[in-house]
Amino acid sequence: GDKGRILAWLYDAYTSDVFNAFHNDIEIAIFDEDAIPTIIRQIPKGKIVNITVFVDTGFNRTGIRYERALTVIEKLSRHSNVKIEGLMSHLIVADSNGTSDTKVREQLHKFRNLRAELATIGIHPNEVHIANSNGCLQYDVSDFTLARVGTGLFGLDIEAHIMKKHNIKPVMSLQTRILQIKSIKKGECIGYGCTYVSQRNMTICILGIGYADIPIYKYKGIYYFIRGTPRKVLGKTNMDQLVCVSKPGDRLHDVAYLFGLNKTHNQTPYSISRKIE
């Protein structure tokens, strides 16, 4: 039921990707000057398509070279079946520290300069955007029309000093529940391959989460937290369940956190990813 506009900026212009996009009213960003004739030929007869131009202002990934952008956009605008709807670029980094700050300001200067040059020849893209989460927080990009805020919406992938400055906190959590509590005897195996053998009579919890949910296979130094206490994962993780240590007081359906908004633990996606790299 979502009727929002879709912009695709990574595709193969020499396959049916572009034709299918136009057919389904998906807007595309052109990032390769050489591909433009192929793209134009795929526009359905009688249809005017919205085109965004992806300009490389210094990232040196996908994008039309800045030096060529004005000429390329001007030529594109001559096609009666093309509307220059957008102008976009991508920041190298946006943490406003030292050298990176200089590079970002150079990119922003180029991007704004190109927009001004386009205006002098009567081209005024409706959608102009370059900033990611850090870019929005660290620089004044209010003169652009869109911001590409991604993981920043969840308080993730933002430099620590930026998070502190703006009082940003992670808001995403990953949790499951206890599906079963059972006792096992000393010397019994747990899970595939018998990689864990009980050293004593003990009680264990089975949690409804596995590597199909989050791709962690070895939980060395990573714990689940139940009722505020860390629980070691025992044996191999399965696709949809794992086993951990149980403690007195555990009950069926108790919540087990891997990370998230819970004051009883400080495990985060960052601390987890550092242990599984």
pLDDT for residue 262: 62
How far is it, in rounded angstroms, from Cα 277 to Cα 80?
51
Tokens of 201: 């009579």
Of residues 101 and 110, which shows the higher confidence score?
110
Helical packing angle, 98-120 and 66-77, nearest 10°: 30
- pLDDT-derived band at 96 (thresholds 50, 70, 90) equals low
pLDDT digits (tens, 9 = 90+) for 242-273: 999 999 999 999 999 999 866 667 788 878 88
What average pLDDT does the segment 198-226 reach? 94
Pairing of strands 64-65, 49-56: parallel
How far is it, in rounded angstroms, from Cα 268 to Cα 67?
43
pLDDT digits (tens, 9 = 90+) for 213-240: 999 988 989 999 999 999 999 999 999 9
pLDDT of 123 higher than 80: yes
What average pLDDT does the segment 28-49 reach? 96
| Entry pTM | 0.79
Contact 253, 177 (CB under 8 A): yes
pLDDT for residue 243: 97
pLDDT digits (tens, 9 = 90+) for 147-164: 998 888 888 766 777 777
